Amino acid sequence: MRALLLLALIAVVVLVVARLPAAWRARLPSPSERPRDELVKDPVCQTYIVMSRAIRSEAGGAPLFFCSRECAARFEQGERRA
């Protein structure tokens, strides 16, 4: 009788543990909902920065990303590379 009860308890634990990852995945945002954070290159000092932390500007309709306000100002003054 104990063996049967123990077997039933093990089966319940296995079923619960097997369903946990699916429940956790259901709570995670899908890849399309996650913010895209990629590396972008500063055109002045050639530093790579994470897009979410970069200073954003536009030139000729194209987005530009800078590592700092200083690099953005240097770009505005005509300096393209350090």
Residues 52-82 pLDDT 10s:
899 999 888 899 999 999 999 999 898 766 5
- Residue 12: φ, ψ to 5°: -65, -45
% of the chain beyond a pLDDT of 90: 44
Q: Which residue has the tokens 């956790």?
A: 24
Q: What is the mean pLDDT of the chain?
A: 84
Which is more confidently placed, 44 or 28? Answer: 44
Q: Confidence class of residue 35 from pLDDT cuts 50, 70 and 90?
A: low
- Residue 59: φ, ψ to 5°: -140, 120
- Rounded-to-integer distance, Cα 65 and Cα 47, Å: 10
Q: Is the pLDDT of residue 20 over 90?
A: no
